[in-house]
Amino acid sequence: MPPYELLYGRRCRTPICWVKVGQKKFGGTEVVLEMNQKIDVIRARLKAAQDRQKWYSEKNRRPIEFQVGNMMKLKVSPWKGVIRFQKRGKFAPWIIGPFKVLARVGEVSYRLELPEELARIHKTFHVSYLCKCLADDSMWVPLNEVTLNNKLEYVEEPITILDEKVKVIRNKRIRTYKVQWRHRKGSECT
């Protein structure tokens, strides 16, 4: 006894062969056409479901494009046991930079201008590893101009008070001042 008949108590009747035991006779063209129509309906419904899911996933997605000359930060992931950017463990940086975009390579990759310390790393990166640096060049303090004391703190001196505000929080008055500072070597910041 076939397993189907043992399980369901009747013989298996496929749409291709509708006759009982004996000489097998294939169904006519009507059965084949009906099956093809059902398969086409199933394919159309699967395509509609896939298109709907694609629309949901791409609804908030926008193409990322950068211009040559933009400043980019590079996302790096800490690899276990690999010291790639001078620190290891939880103190390893997640984003380094900024670096200048030299050229666009393909549709989704860019070549960056990396310093000599990162000469062993390939200079071409996918857009998922890049984020735009929106900082102003005039606000950067070069590291060679900052002097550090023995506690690894940079020394600042106040120059002038630019603005004064009084905030009232509940029944307390708090004075805040905007002060212009000068580092030891002469660069100024607020």
pLDDT in tens, 155-168: 667 788 889 999 99
pLDDT over threshold 90, residue 104: yes
Confidence of residue 138 (pLDDT cuts 50, 70, 90): low
Query: Is residue 127 within 8 Å of 145, Cβ to Cβ?
Result: no
Confidence of residue 65 (pLDDT cuts 50, 70, 90): confident
**Separation between Cα atoms, residue 127 and residue 110, nearest integer Å:** 7
Ordered strands of the 109-113 beta sheet: 124-126, 109-113, 95-105, 71-75, 130-132
Cα 146 to chain centroid distance, Å, stands at 34
* CA contacts within 13 A on the Cβ side of 108: 6
Burial tier of 72 (Cβ tally within 10 Å: 0-12, 13-18, 19+): buried
Per-residue confidence (pLDDT) for residue 145, from 0 to 100: 52
Q: Is the pTM of this model over 0.95?
A: no
